[in-house]
Structure 1
Amino acid sequence: MANVFFGQIIHTKSFNEFEIFTNGFIAVDQKGKIVGVGNESVFDEWVTQHTNFKAVAVERLTKNQFLIPGFIDCHIHAPQVAQIGLGLDMPLLDWLNTYTFPLEAKYADQKFAEETYAKVVENTIRAGTTLASYFGTNHKESTLILAKEVLRQGQRALIGKVCSNQNSPDFYVETTEMTAAGTEEFVKEIQKLETDLVKPTITPRFALSCSKELMNKLGEIAHKNDLHIQSHISESLSEIDFVKSLYNTSYAEAYDNAGLLTPKTVMAHAVHLEDEEITLFGKRGTSVAHCPASNTMLSSGFCDVLRLIKNGIKVGLGTDVSGGNSMSIQDAILRALDVSHHLEFVKKQDIKGSGRLVTQDHTYQPLNYKQAIFLATLGGAEALAMGDITGNFVVGKYFDALIVDTSKYPLHNYQPSDSKAADLNLLEMVQKFIYVGDDRNISRVYVSGNQIKK
């Protein structure tokens, strides 16, 4: 259905370009694509130039509402939602063996998968996630259930059958042949769905759980089908040492030698990337999913995302449930801001008794909320190699959007001030939502112009 929205609009055009319309419009055609955007004052002129556009519905936002692009979760483990909040006082590898592998093995039960995944997709949509890059489990059929559930609820997603053939419990590991064949079958089944909303992504769990032979096979499958790729890299120091002992290369080279670092690859964490690895990422066009909550909770370390961005690496945000404790990308925004400020303390302050290991940098400036919104929207789309179709309000992209209402709890009926300029009022509303709001302030969620949260 063709729609025109009038009201306050915000979006980003790049890491440092934040655009607002205090009295704007967005026109959406019947295919769910944006065909017009700008100030309301030019709408009549726009209509005269687009005589083929006939709006079926006209929506005028209230003074307490604004439009923002949908949130993008570059890294989330759908099956792990069932254990969210457990084991977060453990190091990564202990947490995997104690909680994660036993839970994921339960998804051999397809009924269990159906019940869990319906709630996962519903809750991420409620939190404003319009595009998610989901890890499934080793089980092809259960991961297909996730894909079909995403499609049923109207979300946009990349979905991967997890691949592992070593260094995992006997009850949750496949042979090289099984996991490679299962991946190819999974890709074909997703393609049979004939939808633009759900796409397959090649998903080696991480390099230490995959042999060189399996990594090479996955690289071949990805190349043959021009597929997206997702995995983990350099999350914890013990994990890095393990991978180096297995591959006799850097962590990044272990993936690159198998052809798994491409412009359609997103790697989660990247907390401890070495300079040479960042250079390799830049050459390959590979992106990073910054997961500040899990990096903190599993004691992995601080990821300096500004270091990555300054070196030309595309970065988006990930909740990394259940290493992270929230399915909300808005929460990931707050955690990203926290980590960036904590890095500022380390880089600038003389912290007594710290045994400082970080070189001081008094020029360091932490992320601001506008830049963090970029990471949660357009930055995430670019990190997932989907910035050409979503991430901001540009003509030709799909209308993936949220209507935020600041009159609802917990924003305590925020009221714009008549004494302030309209742009300052709007920016205050945005800040209130980012720092204080939650899913209750997200009134509606749209994907491809279709309302999927009512």
Structure 2
Amino acid sequence: MSPATSAHSGGKAEASPYGSAPGKARPSPNGQVTTYRARILTPAGETWAHWEDGRLDVGDGRIVNVGPWRRTPHYVDLRPHFVLPGFVDTHAHVPQLPVCGVHPESLLEWLRKWTFPLERRFTGNRARELSRRFMQEMLAQGTTTAGLYTSAWPDSVRACFEAAEEVGIHAWIGPPLMDDGAYRPVTTRKVVDEAWRLAELDRPRLRFAVTPRFALSCSRELLRECGNLAREKQLPIQTHLSEQRPECELVRQRFGQEYLDVYDDAGLLGPQSLFAHAIWLSARDWRRLAGSAIAHCPTSNVFLGSGVMNWQRAQAARVGLGSDVGAGPDLSIFRVARMAWTVHSLNGTMIPAETLLWTATMGGARALGFEDVGSLEQGNAADFIVLDAAHIVPPGAPGAESTEDLLSRILHRGGRSAVRQVYVGGVLRHGRS
């Protein structure tokens, strides 16, 4: 469920929505707390909290307190800029960043001509170097949590885990498992054995995700083995679902079933499952997806001419936003949220800015099952971004009349150039101090 209203607290000293005393920094175990002063906006449950003059206390990489400003002798003054939680990108392909913007053809032709050759080379030093570049670009766009696909090579998975660990993000990471039309020599047994070994990388902040690429790249046996691995190891599942009509028709021809039925029969449908796209689905499909998660990827869907997801029916599931790089043009969740606003508005569904930004933060965190990101809540990871105030509300512009008005400006004016700083676990990872 996404928020319908916003809370606007202005600069008044009122209780934090998370229950801690206003402005009182609870000490971290080592006693060191850094206090930030800024205009703070954050999801608070299903709505938004907003402090025009706010205080954020951080210790040991976690949020100790958030609320209205109260005096303290030492603090980092970020005024007049805005502090928000880091964004969550629920669906992106690490090897595909270099192919963004290349020739919008049909999905299957685009994969064959551009994507698979690029992924085939994503191994060794190339995988290590590009994984690091990907993380830095993701941070520069304001994203601190992600659902990521590597290439099918096992060493690319390890490279991505290492790069993610270096910058401290939360992520799901998995290789696109394929035994049909694979771009490397494999057997079903080899793919399965590799996945079981890679599952040992799984940890609370960096999850190994069981990642059957999509139904057309997998035999029934591989899909069943993916379901077995996820069940035995209690691992999350990420894959693609019903992205384009020709793809859906080929699934029917090959398996003799509807797309979602293929996954369900393999044990791949459930609360730990995240499905990207989910465009060409029936009302029955949406009812069955209740409790699962959806990565909504409107920039990619427009680029490849795939279609428009049913936003209203999707609310039965946990919905996050996905850049889907490289069919998406870049890693900007701002751009993804704006494209969602555009396509759904044209399709007759007006989605408020506060709902889309909630989906970009708290919604994505819930989709990925991370309970300690997505909002600036006491005890959460101190993952936050600083947005340039003059970029969001330029000189000469009228002042924001409400939290909703300000969030609308952040949605429509935000982007890479507005991101001044990005903190992950309380550490400055992008921008200047």
Q: Assess same fold via TM > 0.5.
A: yes
* Equivalent residue for 1:18, pick from 48, 53, 65: 48
- Deviation above 6 Å: which 4+ runs of structure 1? none
1:147 paired residue among 161, 172, 176? 161
Structure 2 match to 1:236 = 244
Query: What letter is aligned with 1:336?
Result: A
CA 237–11 in structure 1, closer or farther in 2 if over 3 Å, else same: same
Which SS does the other structure have where 2:210 is aligned?
strand
Q: Give, in whole Å, the separation in 1 of the partners of 2:403 and 2:347.
A: 29
Deviations 1:414-453 (A, max 9, x none): 4676xx5xx6276555433321232122111112222211
Separation in 2 of the partners of 1:296 and 1:173? 33
Give the structure 2 partner of residue 402 of structure 1.
Answer: 385
CA distance in 2, matches of 1:451, 1:57: 18
* Alpha-carbon distance in 1 for matches of 2:65, 2:164: 28
1:295-444 matches, cutoff 5 A: 295-309=301-315, 312-344=316-348, 365-386=349-370, 388-408=371-391, 413-414=394-395, 424=401, 428-444=405-421
Q: Secondary structure at the match of 2:82?
A: strand
Counterpart CA distance in 1 for 2:115 and 2:45 is 36
Distance 1:226 1:256 in 2: 17
- Counterpart of 1:70, as a letter, is G
Structure 1 residue matching 2:208: 3-state secondary structure = strand
Number of matched pairs: 400
Q: Secondary structure at the match of 2:64?
A: strand
Kept in 1: contact 2:354–2:408 (CA 8 A):
no
State the Cα deviation string for residues 370-392 of structure 1 (Å, max 9, x = none): 11101110001111111x21111
> Does the aligned pair in 2 maintain the 1:77–1:320 contact within 8 Å?
yes
- How much does 1:413 deviate? 4.3
Q: Which residue in 1 is equivalent to 2:192? A: 180
**1:355: which partner in 2?**
none
Q: 1:427 to 1:341 in 2, by over 3 A?
A: closer
Deviation by residue 1:38-59 (Cα, 9 ceiling, x = unmatched): 222xx47xxxxxxxxxx99622
TM-score, reference length from structure 2: 0.87
Residue identity opposite 1:34 in structure 2: I
* 2:117 corresponding residue in structure 1: 102
Look up the SS of the partner of 2:343 in the other structure: helix
More helix by share: 1
Q: Pick closer, same or farther for the CA change 1:330–1:160 going to 2, 3 Å.
A: same
Partner of residue 101, structure 2: 85
The TM-score, its normalising length taken from structure 1, stands at: 0.83
CA contact (8 A) 1:180 1:217 kept: yes
Contiguous gaps of at least 5 residues in structure 1: 45-54, 345-364
SS at match of 2:75: strand
- Whichever residue aligns with residue 101 of structure 1, its letter is F
Task: Evaluate the alpha carbon distance shift between residue 448 and residue 415 of structure 1 in structure 2; reply closer, same or farther with a 3 A threshold.
Answer: farther
**Distance (Å, rounded) in 2 between the aligned partners of 1:154 and 1:385:** 17
In structure 2, the partner of 1:48 is none
Write out per-residue CA displacement over residues 159-218 of structure 1, whole angstroms, 9 at most, x where no aligned residue: 10110001x15x435211111111111111x24xxx643221110000111111111111
24, 36, 39: which is aligned to 2:68?
A: 39
- Aligned position for 1:213: 221
Q: Matched residue of 1:315: which SS?
A: strand
Q: Supply the AA of the counterpart residue of 2:194.
A: G
The residue identity in structure 1 corresponding to 2:429 is I
1:112 alignment partner, one of 118, 126, 129: 126
Amino acid at match of 2:317: I
Structure 2 contact 228–267 (Cα < 8 Å) conserved:
yes
**SS in structure 2 at match of 1:230:** strand
Q: What does residue 15 of structure 2 align with?
A: none
Change (3 A) 1:26 1:299: same
Q: Which residue of 1 aligns with 2:288?
A: 280
What is the alpha-carbon distance in structure 2 between the residues aligned to residue 299 and residue 112 of structure 1? 31
Q: CA deviation at 1:130?
A: 0.3
Select the residue among 77, 90, 100 that pairs with 1:60. Answer: 77
* Aligned match for 2:58, one of 10, 24, 28: 28
For 1:261 and 1:318, locate their aligned partners in 2 and report how far apart those are by CA, in whole Å.
20
Deviation string 1:10-50 (CA, Å, 9 cap, x unpaired) is 122355x22211122222222x222322222xx47xxxxxx
Output the CA distance in 1 between the equivalents of 2:266 and 2:135. 32
The answer to whether structure 1 residue 76 and structure 2 residue 92 are counterparts is: yes
Aligned counterpart, 2:11: none
Letter of the 1:9 partner, please give it: I
| Separation of aligned partners in 1, 2:93 and 2:115 | 10
CA contact 2:216–2:251 (8 Å) conserved in 1: yes
| Equivalent residue number for residue 297 of structure 2 | 291
Residues 247-282 of structure 1 show CA distances to partners (whole Å, capped at 9, x for unaligned) of 222211211111112212110000111111111111
3-state DSSP class of the match of 1:300?
Answer: coil
The AA in structure 2 aligned to 1:61 is L
Moved more, 315-324 or 433-442: 433-442
Q: Distance in 1 between matches of 2:421 and 2:178?
A: 38
**CA distance in 1: counterparts of 2:396 and 2:250, whole angstroms:** 54
How far the C-alpha of 1:393 sits from its partner, in A, is 1.7
Q: Structure 1 residues 116 and 184, CA, compared in 2 at 3 Å: closer, same or farther?
A: same
State how far apart, in whole Å, the 2-side matches of 1:153 and 1:294 are: 26
- How much has 1:412 moved relative to structure 2? 8.1
Identity of aligned residues (%): 28
Superposed CA RMSD in Å reads: 2.1
